[in-house]
Structure 1
Amino acid sequence: MIRRNIKFIFFLLLFLRVNAVSQSESNFVFTGNKIFDSKTLLRNLETRIKKADDDSIISSIKKFYSYYGYYHTDVKIRESGGNQFQIEIDEGKPTFINNIIADGLNEDSTFVKEILSKLDNEIFSAQQFEENVNFLLDYYEELGYPFAAIRIASVYFFDKEDKHLADIYLKIEKGLKAKIDRMEIEGNDKTKEMVIIRSAGISTGEIYSREKINKIPSRLMKLRFFESVREPEFFIDNKNEGVLRIKVKEKQTNQFDGIIGYVPGRESEKGYLTGLVNIGLGNIFGTGRNLSFRWQSENRNSQELEIKYLEPWLFGFPLNLRTGLFQRIQDTTYVQRNLSGELIFMASEDVTGSVSIAHRSTIPTERSVKGFTVYNSTSLITGVNLSIDTRNNIYSPTSGIIFANTYKLNSKKINGPAEYLPANRSFSLQQFEVDFGYFLEVFRLQVLALAFHAREIRGDNIEISDMYLLGGANSLRGYIENQFAGKRILWSNIEYRYLLTNKTHAFLFFDAGYFKRDELSDYKIGYGLGINFETAFGIMSVSFALGKGDSFGEGKIHFGIVNEF
C-alpha cells in the first residue's frame, strides 16, 4: 500500500479498539466467559484498575466484546478480598447483520453488492467488517480512486425471532478519478530523470494504479544504481494535478577489484603475472549505460580477457542491447575469441526474453613439437533465452526464485590444419543451459539459498574448445578456476546465510559437481564458509573452500566482486 497524503476515512460509529494494558492475572478471576479465555480478556483491558467499582473495567470489557459482535454483554465486578476481584460476565448472544444498504453506487454496484452480501447473516464483527470495507477501498484505489471513502451513516438494531439483528447504512464516496499529471524525482544527483521514469513502468498521463506504483521500488532497485528507493507518494497539488513523487538514494556504481601477483621464473623460464583485474563503469553519465572490463590470469599459459557493454532501452523501447568481446588463452593448446551481441526484451518486472548471436574463432597455438590439439575453426552461434527473477533483493534475497533457460545452435566450420582436415568440415552443435535458484528465510535473518545449474553440448566432432568448464568461485568452489571440462556438466550450491545487512551476509556452503567427457566422468564436492560484504567499489565475495580429499592446508580462497553487469 502506498503512503497516501489523504488517508482513507472509515468511521465505525460503534467500535473502538481497546488498547491493552497488562494486569496481573492473580488480581482478576473471570467467570461466565466462554467465547474468550481469561488471558485474552486480561490482555485487552484498557487500564490497570485498582478500585473494584471503577466503571472503566466494565467499559473496557464491553467494548472488547462489542468489537467482535457481542453488544449485549453484561459485566459485574465483585471483590473477593486480598486485592482479588471476580468479574462475572454474561456474554449474551451476538448480533447478526441483516442487511447492508449502500448509497453512492453506480457502475460498480454489482461488484460492491456482491462483496457486501458476503456479510449477510454474519456476526456484526468490527474486525470482519473492516476487512471487507478495506478490500473495497483497495478495489476503488486500483480503479484510479485513491481517495475513496466508505462511511457508516447509521446502524439500526432490532430483535427478531430471538435474534439480535442490525441493518447497516453505508455512504460510499469515490471522489474524482486520479491521473498522474506530473512526476517528481528526488535524490538523483547523477541519474537522469528519464532513466528513472522509463524504468518505473508508469508514465505521466496514466490513470492512477496502485499495483503499478507499488512495484516501482523493486523495479528501480533492479537497475543497481540506487542504495534505496522509498515508497512513492501520490498527492493532489494546489493546481488540482496528480503528482507522483519518487525518492531515491544513489550509490557508487563504478567498481574496481584487482589483485596482481608475480611468479618468478625458474632456470630458463621467465617469470609471469597472475591475478585478476575487474573494472566496472555503471550508469555512465547517468544514462543507464554500463561498461565492464575483466582480465584474469590463472597460470603461466592460461588467461582470459573480457569486455562487455550494455545499451539500455534501445530506440526508447524496453529492449536492452548487450555486446561483448571475450578471449581465452587455454594453456598451450588454443586461443579462442568471441564477439557477441544479445537483444533483451523486458517483458515485465520479473520476466525477460532474449535472442543472441556470436562469432567465435578458435586458433590452435603453434608448438615446437608438431601434433594435433584442436581444429582451426569458426562458429556462428545463435541462441534464445528466457529468464525469470522474482528475488526481493538482488544482493541478499530472502525470498523468490531466479531461473534462466537457454538454447544455442552452433554452426561450426573447420578451416585447418590442412593435414588434419576431416571429410565433413561443417556441422552443427546444440547447447542447452539451465540455471535455477531458490531463496527461503527459514528464521529471522537466516536464509537457505539453493541453486542448480546444468550445461550440455551435443553433436559430432566436439573438441575441448567447445566444452563447458567447471570449477572455481562461480561454480564449484574448492577447485581452481575452470579445472574440469565436459560435454555435460552439472553443479549445485547450498548456502546457509546469516544476514548482517541488506547487502552483507556470512554463509556456510556445500557444492556438488559432475562432469562427463567421452568415457571420462567424475563427481566432485566442495565445502567451506565465506562472506559477501559491501565496499566502496561494490559487493565483495570472499570464501574459503576445501575440495574432495583436501586437507586444511590445501584449501582454496576465492574472492571477487559480485557481478552487477
Structure 2
Amino acid sequence: MDKHNTDYPRTQTQVWASNWMRSSASPIWGASDVFQSSSFGTSVFGVGLIGVGCQKILRTFLIYAFFLCSFLFNFNSLLPSENEHSPNPRLYQLKIFGDKMISRDKIQNWFKLSKGDAVSKEIIKKRGQGVLEKFVEDGFYFAKFDSVVFQYNPDSTRANVSIYINQGQKIKVDLISISGIDEAQKLVRDLGTQPGRDFNEKILQEDIESIIYYYENKGYPYCKVTVSDLSLDNSSKNESRINIKLKVDPGQELTIEEIEIVGNEQTKESVILRELPLEIGDIYNQRNINRIESKLQRLGYFKWINPPQLELLNDNSGKLIIELAEGHYNRFDGVIGYNPATQSSQGFVTGLIDISFGNLFGTGRQIEVHWQRRTEETQNLRIRYLEPWVGGLPLNAGFSFEQLIQDTSYVQRNLGLDFCFQFSEKLSFFTQVSKRDISPNSLGSIPFGIPKSNSLNLEVGLSYNTLDNLLNPSRGLHYTSAFEWGRKTVEKSSNESETLDNSSNQKRLLIDFETYFPLFRWQVLALAIHGRQVTSDEPVIPITEHYRLGGARTLRGYREEQFNGSRIAWANFEYRYLLGRYSRFFAFIDTGYFFRETVENNSVARIQKWKVGYGIGLRMDTRLGLFGIDYGLGEGDRLSNGKVHIGLKNEF
C-alpha cells in the first residue's frame, strides 16, 4: 500500500519515520526518531507593471516597487512555509495498519481520538504511550509503532493520520515453579499462569496475591512472595518462552490474643465483640477480618468503621485494633399525605409515624412503634420488641402486638412471638407464631357478613440483603419471601348446630424483591416487585383476610388502601438521579394488580384489575433529617387531582 495515498486532492503529507515508539518499561524517544516531509505545495505571488519612459515616472515606480516588495516580504513571512501547517489541525480520519491479533476498532478506541479532535505529533506520542501499555496488558511485550503518516488537506486544517503497528509475538510460559513451602505443587495447579499459556504480567501479579491471601487465611499475615528468577528464551524463531521461579516465605503463624475497640462511647464492648466473625485466641484469618467492617456497619450503630489494624505483640501473637465512631441509633419516620376531594367525598389527610429505638442502653435491644391513619376512619397501631443474641447465639427473639381498626367494619388484633436467626451479614431466617382475633362492629357484621373469629398462625421465611446503602442504595438487591399456615375458627351463631365445623385452613404467601442498577454517573435504575396471596378452605375469602393496595408505599397516585383483594401484586420502577449520599430526585411508574371474589345475588363474582400510577419525587438530606415528597397521578387524574405524600426521616 502506498503510504502517501490520500483522500484529499493536492494534499501535503508528513511521514514520521520508522521505530518511533516501542513497547517497553521506558519507551525510546531517541535520535532514531526522524521527522520527514515531502510533496508540499507552494504559494506564488505575481505582479504586472506598465513601464513609462519618464524619469519621474521611473523614480515614482522604483519608490512604489520598494514599498511593494517590502509589503510582499512581510506578508509572505506570515504565510505557512513549506514545512509548516496549521498549529491546530483537526483529525479527519484515524487509520490503523499492521494489526493482527487485536482488532483495529479496539486499537482506535485505545487512542481515544475522535473525528474533529485536535491532533499533532505530541498528541500522538502521548496517546501512543497509553496504547503500548494496553498492548503490554494483553501480552504483546514487543509491540512497536513503525511509522505515522500525517496527510493534510490544502489549508492544513484537517488531517488523516495513518499508524503502522508491529505487534510482535506473545511470550509463552515454559515453566513456573514455587520453592520454600511444602504445598508448592498444590498452589502451582491453582495458578492462572501455566506452562503453554501466554505470559501476562497482570495474571502473574494476581497469582502472587492469591498465594499471599491463601497464607493470610491460614494464620500467616506477613507472608512474602518474591520472583527469584525470570528468564526469557529467544532461541526459537517462532516464539519466545519464559521461565518463572517464585519463592514463598510464609513467616510466623500468628494468633489473635487481644481485640481493642476504640471509639465506642455508649455501645457496650461485649455487644461489638459478639458481632465479630472471630474471637480472642483464633488463628489470624484475613477473610474474617475483611468481613468485620461490613458486619458492624449493618448494625446501624456507627457513622464509620476503619479497616482493622494489626499490632504485633510478640513473634506469634498480635492485637487487633478496631476504630469506629458511633452514630444515631434511633429513627423517626413520618409521612403526611393528602387525598383531594372527589364528587362523592371531601378531601382528607392521611399520616404515618414510625419510631425505632435501635440500641437501648447500648445493648442492641430494639423497640419499634408504628402508627398509621390510612383513611378517615381506619387506623393501624403496631408495637414490636426485639432481644438480640438469645443464649449467646445469633438468634434474635421478640414479641409484637398489632391492632387494626378498619373504618366501621371490624377490629383486628394480632399477638405474635418472633424469632430471627442471622446466618451471615446478608442472609437471615425468621419465623413467627401469632394469634389473630377479628371482632366485627355492629355496623359491619350485618351488611358485610363479618363473623367473629380467631386464628393460630405459623410463618417462616428468609431474607437476603446485599444493598450498599440502606437509605439510598445504588447497587445490590434485597429479597424476602415468607409462607404462613393458619387454622381459623369462626364463632358459631345461636342458630347453628353444635356439630357444625366452623374451622378452615389458610395459607399465605409473601414475596418482596428490589434491586438497583447503576447506569451512568449519579444515575440509578431501581426495580421492585411485590406479591401477596391468601388461600382458604372457605368458599369465599372474607374481606377481613384481604390485602390492601394503594398509597405511598405500594401504588402511588392512588389513595391509601384504595383497593383490596385476596391476591395483589405491584411493581415500582424508578429512574433516580443521585444528589448526594442520601439525596435523590426521581421519576416513577407504579403498576398494581388485585383480585378478589365476592358474593352477589347468591353467586360468586370475580373482580380483577390492573392499575397504573406515575409521578416524580425528591429525597433531600437536611438538618432536620431526610425530607421526602412524592407527587403521583392515577389513571384518569388531572394535575389538580394528584396525590401528594410528604415524609421526614430523622435519626436521633
Pair 160,385 (structure 1): closer, same or farther in 2 beyond 3 Å: same
| Shift in Å, 1:178 | 3.0
Q: How does 1:52-91 map onto structure 2 within 5 Å? A: none
Taking the aligned partners of 2:218 and 2:444, their CA distance within structure 1 comes to: 76
Which of 590, 593, 598 is residue 511 of structure 1 equivalent to?
A: 590
Count of paired positions: 522
Q: Give the structure with higher Rg (CA).
A: 2
Pairing partner for 1:458 from 535, 543, 553 = 535
Alignment of 1:152-551 (within 5 A): 152-162=227-237, 164-237=240-313, 241-258=317-334, 275-367=351-443, 373-415=449-491, 418=494, 423-459=500-536, 460=538, 462-518=541-597, 519-534=606-621, 539-551=626-638
Three-state SS of the structure 1 residue aligned to 2:491 is: strand
Of residues 146, 160, 172 in structure 1, which corresponds to 2:221? 146
CA distance in 1, matches of 2:334, 2:514: 28
What secondary structure does 2:544 align onto?
coil
SS of match in other structure, 1:413 = strand
**What displacement does 1:20 show?**
12
- 8 Å Cα contact 1:254-1:537 kept in structure 2: no
Contact 1:18/1:64 (<8 A) preserved: no
Do the aligned residues in 2 keep the contact of 1:17 with 1:67 (CA within 8 Å)?
no
Query: How far has the Cα of 1:515 moved from its partner?
Result: 0.9
Q: Shift in Å at residue 296 of structure 1?
A: 2.3
Deviations for 1:166-225, whole angstroms, at most 9, x for unmatched residues?
433332111122333222223322222222222232222222333222222222222222
Offset, 1:93: 5.6
Q: Distance in 1 between matches of 2:28 and 2:262?
A: 41
Query: Structure 1 residues 64, 19: CA separation in 2 closer, same or farther (over 3 Å shift)?
Result: farther
SS at match of 1:181: strand
Give the C-alpha shift of residue 377 in structure 1: 1.1
1:520 Cα shift? 2.2
Q: Aligned letter for 2:274?
A: R
Rounded Cα–Cα distance in structure 2 between residues aligned with 1:312 and 1:435: 24
- Mapped to 2, the partners of 1:117 and 1:475 lie a distance apart of 49
Distance change in 2, residues 1:104/1:547 (3 Å): same
Partner of 1:559 in structure 2?
646
Match for 2:325: what amino acid?
K
Secondary structure in 2 matching 1:215: helix
State the 1:425 CA deviation. Answer: 1.7
Matched position secondary structure for 2:255? coil
Contact residue 100 and residue 116 of structure 1 kept, 8 A: no
Label 1:381 to 1:535 Cα distance change in 2 as closer, same or farther (>3 A): farther
Tell me if structure 2 keeps the 8 A contact 1:414–1:421.
Answer: no
Alignment CA distance shift 1:359-1:151 (3 Å) = same
Quote the Cα distance in structure 2 between the aligned partners of 1:41 and 1:489.
52
Q: Matches of 1:454 and 1:287 in 2, distance apart?
A: 35
Q: Structure 1 residue 89: deviation in Å?
A: 9.6
Provide the secondary structure at the position in 2 that maps to 1:208: coil
What are the ranges of 5 or more consecutive residues in structure 2 without an aligned counterpart?
Answer: 1-22, 38-95, 113-120, 123-128, 151-162, 340-347, 598-605
TM-superposed deviation, 1:282: 1.6
Which piece of structure 1 moves more, 111-120 or 136-145? 111-120
Report the Cα distance in structure 1 between the residues aligned to 2:494 and 2:279, rounded to whole angstroms: 61
| CA distance 1:387–1:17, change in 2 (3 Å) | farther
Determine the structure 2 residue equivalent to 1:4: none
Work out whether 1:110 is the aligned partner of 2:185. Answer: yes
Between the aligned partners of 1:260 and 1:72, the Cα distance in structure 2 is: 68
Distance 2:145 2:644 in 1: 71
Point out the more displaced range, 198-207 or 398-407: 198-207
> Is the partner of 2:208 in helix, strand or coil?
helix
Q: Deviations over 1:318-355 (max 9, x none)?
A: 11113211111111111111111221111222211122
Give the counterpart letter for 2:218 in structure 1.
L
Partner Cα distance (1:445, 1:347) in 2: 33
Q: Structure 2 counterpart of 1:447, which letter?
A: V
Tell me how far 1:147 sits from its aligned partner.
1.9
Note closer, same or farther for the CA distance 1:293–1:158 as it changes in structure 2 (3 Å cut).
closer
Query: CA shift at 1:292, angstroms?
Result: 1.7
Find the residue that maps to 1:474 and give its secondary structure.
coil
1:510/1:290 CA distance change after superposition, 3 Å: same
Task: Determine the C-alpha separation between the residues in 1 that align with 2:232 and 2:485.
Answer: 75
Amino acid at match of 1:501: G
**Counterpart code for 1:143:** K
Structure 2 contact 411–440 (Cα < 8 Å) conserved: yes
Contact 1:256 1:537 in 2 (8 A): no
Deviation at 1:276, TM superposition (A): 3.6
Per-residue deviation, residues 532-557 of structure 1 (Å, max 9, x unmatched)? 34456764443111111111111112
Change in CA separation of 1:541 and 1:65 when aligned onto 2, cut-off 3 Å: closer
Secondary structure at 1:550 match in 2: coil
Deviation string 1:337-377 (CA, Å, 9 cap, x unpaired) is 11112211112222111221111111111349965541111
Q: Counterpart of 1:236 in 2: which secondary structure?
A: strand
CA spacing shift, 1:200–1:533, aligned 2, 3 Å? farther
Equivalent position SS for 2:559: coil
1:253, 1:538 within 8 Å by CA — same for their partners in 2? no
Counterpart of 2:176? 100
Q: Determine whether 1:136 maps to 2:211.
A: yes
Describe the superposition over 1:413-452 as per-residue Cα deviations: whole angstroms up to 9, x where unpaired: 1125546899432211111111111211122221111111
Instruction: Give 1:521 deviation, angstroms.
Output: 2.1
Q: Structure 1: how far apart are the matches of 2:24 and 2:571?
A: 55
Say which SS state the counterpart of residue 525 (structure 1) adopts. Answer: strand
Compared with structure 1, are the counterparts of its residues 193 and 67 closer, same or farther at alpha carbon in structure 2 (3 Å cutoff)? same
> What is the DSSP-based 3-state SS (H/G/I as helix, E as strand, rest coil) of the residue aligned with 2:545?
coil
Contact 2:254 2:316 in 1 (8 A): no
- Residues 537, 475 of structure 1: alpha-carbon distance in 2 compared, 3 angstrom cutoff: same
The 8 Å contact of residues 255 and 537 in structure 1, kept in 2 or not, is answered as: no
Moved more, 204-213 or 283-292: 204-213
1:95–1:551 Cα change, 3 Å = closer
Give percent identity, aligned residues only: 33
Q: 1:153 to 1:477 in 2, by over 3 A?
A: same
1:240–1:430 CA distance, 2 compared to 1 (3 A): same
Cα 1:237–1:515, aligned 2, differ >3 Å: closer, same or farther? same
Change (3 A) 1:403 1:275: closer
The answer for unaligned runs of 5 or more in structure 1 is 1-14, 44-48, 51-58, 81-86, 264-271
Cα distance between partner residues in 2 of 1:182 and 1:130? 33
The whole-number CA distance in structure 2 between the counterparts of 1:26 and 1:307 is 82
Report the TM-score when normalising by structure 1: 0.79
Deviation of 1:470 after TM superposition, in Å, equals: 1.0
- SS of equivalent to 2:519: strand
